[in-house]
Amino acid sequence: YKFCGRGLSKYLSWISKIQVNQPAVLRRAEQIQARRTVKKEWQAAWLLKAVTFIDLTTLSGDDTPSNIQRLCYKAKYPIREDLLKALNMHDKDITTAAVCVYPARVCDAVKALKAAGCSIPVASVATGFPAGQTHLKTRLEEIRLAVEDGATEIDVVINRSLVLTGQWEALYDEIRQFRKACGEAHLKTILATGELGSLTNVYKASMIAMMAGSDFIKTSTGKETVNATFPVAIVMLRAIRDFFWKTGNKVGFKPAGGIRSAKDSLAWLSLVKEELGDEWLKPELFRIGASTLLSDIERQIYHHVTGRYAAYHDLPMS
């Protein structure tokens, strides 16, 4: 779906008129967390499903081939085999949705996953992650190099200054160029919502990112002070729904940053189920960016299966 010429300017003028009602969004966010819970086997099944949405992530300055390798192994075997057997889920091939690393670690990840004999995609952050404050030329080059190294998903950060100064068309052009540089790889656009100033800006940036061809829109880098929050998510999910209603294209959603507990992940699943419906609850359209979430989910599964709370050493580290 291409937006250009008059079609584009029509959409831009529509976007400029959008207003998001912040107090109402906050109330809806509060409601949705209180109104939906799952218990017992429903909870176990939902948690296993949540595992399949995780982009298992490490984005640290001290990442080396060894901890990348460990991460990839964990991505392939996220839950202890005996626990899955107890739930009769061992043949469902439960892995995380992807691993997500810095561009310089893409090679390590690709190699490690190959060695483990699995086809989990490698996602790379790019375009001057996390601030995006580098030259456009180097940002584009970064995407190309990551794709060359074998990344099949690219998590780009947008240029926040374009949002804050209202240069929507320029933002659209930049993301179009990212899209081109990705080639076959999936484009996941990080809006860094904690730095956009208002929910109205979040909605507008979401729309622009989707019009420019993003496969996913993602809340945050995990490096801002405010990360994935429910109000922001509601605004982005409504933007995704509006985009679907207008164009028929389904765009994915990826919250990231600050999602640490199993309970959180359930709330995110029900949020997407409530706002977009079951058709969005698959790894092609929903991801959770997280590093420590997986171990908490594994602990909860352990508790569900055994009736006991796991000790730290009962479960393998990632």
Catalytic residue positions? 218, 254
* Nearer Cβ to another protein (61/307): 307
Q: Does 16 participate in binding another protein (rule CB under 8 A)?
A: no
Q: Does 173 participate in binding another protein (rule CB under 8 A)?
A: no
- Angle, helices 136-149 vs 168-182, to 10°: value is 30
* Footprint (CB under 8 A) of another protein, residues 139-168: none
Given candidates 48, 190, 196, 251, which one binds another protein under the rule CB under 8 A?
48
* Footprint (CB under 8 A) of another protein, residues 282-311: 304-307
Contact segment (CB under 8 A) with another protein among 122-130, 185-193, 195-203, 250-258 equals 195-203
* Nearer Cβ to another protein (45/145): 45
* Footprint (CB under 8 A) of another protein, residues 238-277: 245, 269-270, 273-274, 277
Q: Does 34 participate in binding another protein (rule CB under 8 A)?
A: yes
Given candidates 2, 40, 135, 313, which one binds another protein under the rule CB under 8 A?
40
* Nearer Cβ to another protein (32/256): 32
Q: Which residues bind another protein (CB under 8 A)?
A: 19, 21-24, 26-27, 34-42, 44-46, 48-49, 82, 85-89, 92, 198-200, 245, 269-270, 273-274, 277-278, 281, 304-307
